[in-house]
Structure 1
């Protein structure tokens, strides 16, 4: 054992005294190179918080053949900096770290960081890992247990998820999709392929939210407006899932509302700095207008195929989002090129309605079942966190943030997600089956009321055998009756008008 790596985990800000050998941060860590004959190390830990705090410490020993995390630091304050620096916003979480160096024997100088070749630090490789904490669990106990589990190399490799591998020539940073309210531990393991050894950087955690903020904090992430909006959306989705094709006008309104509301939310968010609630209300108003326009276009022109294409685009959007929600969406070709991503997304989105042009009724019923059931899942997400909401949320983030393309969109998939996935599948399959059985003896689509009125009017004009053809209009019949009664009263010598 030639050097020690140790770190302390505490929710508030921790501090170590000493220039070049101290660090102030959450999840801080230090590396101490041992001198010949040294058998003990003294550490100082302090906090600026006057209230009692909880903390834990882990000591990791390494040998001279292991790489030194942060041994070639030229950017941060420590001489040897094994820490991972994390920054997050609403869309993405970025981690950065200092390059590592090769190990050395006690009492010997560390290898130069300016050297090149196969015997320098340029041969080192960096594996980036992430470990998800239990969903809906913000407790310190859960965090401490997880950090102790993945503190060393073996623990992280066994329990964590390796996201990517960086060479020494790559920038020492990685970008991930932010998941507010979901605890995530990030770690970097540096490997020396020549000596087949490795060492772990200090694991760092984030919930992508603030515990001290009274607005949009970790405990107040769910806005009332969001809960109301998605509760109504879930109820409408449940109706569409089982009765959408029967109540065709209601289905068209809901689909038109969703399509236009999503479009204007993106447009308003990218072009204005309005508050979230204002954007949500404006998007809902535009959505109502879009739903009414779609219903009125069918009522006036009766073009079922045009309406079904719009409805099919909703199913295509959800299928494309689901495909790119899988690990396929984290491929380098999609992360490095927005053009490739959006062309692929658009192709999948357009193919779906084209596929159902041959079977419009079946396509419409399938759309009702799948999209309606997913709306129920989104309604549940407004009250209980589920990763299934990120199927569409990742697309929304990419539309709103131009820099989101480079972020890894991996999310935890735990017990509640499997339960809601089962609910989605069961509701969708039940709704599709029920509507197919109920509508098999009915016309493919209900007729347009306006076109029916035109046909009825033409029929009355041309069909002289229809008794209604010989009946004068109601106003003419009324005035004719008045005239008859007046003539009758005059012939009888009455001067007082009759009571009609």
Structure 2
């Protein structure tokens, strides 16, 4: 008993593989007795969890096992049948009022684990009590998977004492919590889980996300931010009584292969793209307007690459990322040449800078939706989203054309600063590159309109936001200073004759500046 108490109070190496929880001290009026937890080092093999002396006042309890970094299997029987067990890093099972209960944990590797027993009253909602598709009869756990673009969190509907699953009117609220940025240490992993174990803790530490009825109510989608840990929690409420599902964690990447999966860039084409973005950003930020023709070509190239990549992503799933990138770059080279040719042919400044204005408006609209607007229910509808998005782009574009020189300089500084920050994010961490990536995902990823965007905004993101503003401001100031006493735009080839020259101007001028008439 003394060993159990020591485990409850501190990190213990309980390699006897029998972990005991004594619920005799449970008091319904004392919230601190509703949860018991214990850290252990699980060894390879089968361990036992004993829950003893369960009072009659307990309606049911949820036994949870949270492991790091390897999966474990939790079962209510020693046979580990599929209908009695669940596998993962965040697992749990429901048990009703039995005086003594045994659970079994199987691990293939030695792993750190947090074992928790959360106690509920018989009138509290049962998490996952109306399970239809998961293996176990009751499913208080969540199944988390991820793709390159999305994190998918699946759960089952709760049940309650005096209602049926056919007429389920139990309120379900979803929450998530970001872990410490770019840190995969077990301390932050377990701290995040401990902050989301109970209803009160979830409401105190978690961020409530919007829910919708129907298919996506229990198959919640989140925008993936690679390498950023998230804890997902669900609270079920019925007649002012609440219970919590087993919290689940995802980093949107494979922790067993962190260097290639959680950090970036690792593939050659991404390294080339990041290098280009950094060089492009620095050049355009400080010299974009001064080297007007080069900037026209670069902006045309970027637009061509983006549009081509979107079209290829929408039209074909057979092409690899490298193939789509290579094709988009080739088309972008052609598009940049065509846009430069338009200036050479017509020489209309307001037409030539329209791509810079459009790209700046696109980035500003992306920032608006990235900042939280996309999570409003009205913008789950694609028509509402894209009409509003286009309206923002057009509004900024129209405003920019009123002061063509100033806003072109601002557009160059703004786009250049963002390109630099986005490139640096892949090496230093941070998530501002997802401002554009989320807009791209909305275009090409199925069901992304139903995903929660709610991006992380931690120390690195704050620092890089300040860097973005600082670079934009300094770039604008530097370029405007360089532009003093100069024409707003370079002369076109049709207007390269000297000022004041006309058809009657003498054709011969001596070196002293004296004009010799041909008369």
For normalisation by structure 2, the TM-score amounts to: 0.80
Does structure 1 retain, via aligned residues, the 8 Å contact 2:370–2:455? Answer: no
Structure showing greater relative contact order (alpha-carbon pairs closer than 8 Å, 6 or more residues apart): 1
Task: Name structure 2 gaps, 5 residues minimum.
Answer: 1-57, 511-519
The answer to whether residue 396 in structure 2 is matched with residue 352 in structure 1 is: yes
| Number of residues of Structure 1 aligned to a counterpart in Structure 2 | 445
Task: Map 1:82-231; keep pairs closer than 5 Å.
Answer: 82-103=140-161, 111=162, 113-114=164-165, 116=167, 122-165=168-211, 171-192=217-238, 194=239, 196-212=240-256, 217-218=261-262, 222-231=266-275
Task: Name structure 1 gaps, 5 residues minimum.
Answer: 104-110, 117-121, 470-500
Whole-angstrom distance in 1 between the partners of 2:337 and 2:281 = 17
Larger mean Cα displacement after TM superposition, 198-207 or 22-31: 22-31
The answer to whether residue 441 in structure 2 is matched with residue 428 in structure 1 is: no
Query: Could you say if the C-alpha distance between residues 82 and 339 of structure 1 is closer, same or farther in structure 2, counting changes exceeding 3 Å?
Result: same
Deviations 1:420-456 (A, max 9, x none): 00000001011112222332322111111x2145x57
Measured after TM superposition, the shift of residue 170 of structure 1 is 8.0
Whole-angstrom distance in 1 between the partners of 2:190 and 2:59 = 27
Larger mean Cα displacement after TM superposition, 166-175 or 71-80: 166-175
Report what 1:256 is aligned to: 300
Measured after TM superposition, the shift of residue 129 of structure 1 is 0.4
Report what 1:488 is aligned to: none
Does structure 2 retain, via aligned residues, the 8 Å contact 1:301–1:451? Answer: no
Measured after TM superposition, the shift of residue 135 of structure 1 is 1.5
* Higher normalized helix content (fraction of residues): 1
Larger radius of gyration: 1
Does structure 1 retain, via aligned residues, the 8 Å contact 2:358–2:393? Answer: yes
Does structure 2 retain, via aligned residues, the 8 Å contact 1:86–1:94? Answer: yes
Alignment root-mean-square deviation, CA? 2.4
Deviations 1:2-59 (A, max 9, x none): 2211210123332234354322233110111113xx2x43221112x2x322222111
Secondary structure at the aligned position of 1:267 is classed as: helix
Whole-angstrom distance in 1 between the partners of 2:393 and 2:505 = 52
Query: Could you say if the C-alpha distance between residues 402 and 212 of structure 1 is closer, same or farther in structure 2, counting changes exceeding 3 Å?
Result: same
Query: Could you say if the C-alpha distance between residues 221 and 161 of structure 1 is closer, same or farther in structure 2, counting changes exceeding 3 Å?
Result: farther
Does structure 1 retain, via aligned residues, the 8 Å contact 2:409–2:479? Answer: yes
Measured after TM superposition, the shift of residue 128 of structure 1 is 0.2
* Higher normalized strand content (fraction of residues): 2
Query: Could you say if the C-alpha distance between residues 170 and 346 of structure 1 is closer, same or farther in structure 2, counting changes exceeding 3 Å?
Result: closer
Whole-angstrom distance in 2 between the partners of 1:2 and 1:373 = 58
Whole-angstrom distance in 2 between the partners of 1:16 and 1:203 = 15
Does structure 1 retain, via aligned residues, the 8 Å contact 2:59–2:123? Answer: no
Instruction: Name which of 43, 48, 62 aligns with 1:5.
Output: 62
Query: Could you say if the C-alpha distance between residues 132 and 45 of structure 1 is closer, same or farther in structure 2, counting changes exceeding 3 Å?
Result: same
Whole-angstrom distance in 1 between the partners of 2:84 and 2:447 = 35
Secondary structure at the aligned position of 1:151 is classed as: coil
Does structure 2 retain, via aligned residues, the 8 Å contact 1:227–1:379? Answer: no
Query: Could you say if the C-alpha distance between residues 274 and 155 of structure 1 is closer, same or farther in structure 2, counting changes exceeding 3 Å?
Result: same
Does structure 1 retain, via aligned residues, the 8 Å contact 2:265–2:271? Answer: no
Does structure 2 retain, via aligned residues, the 8 Å contact 1:300–1:451? Answer: no
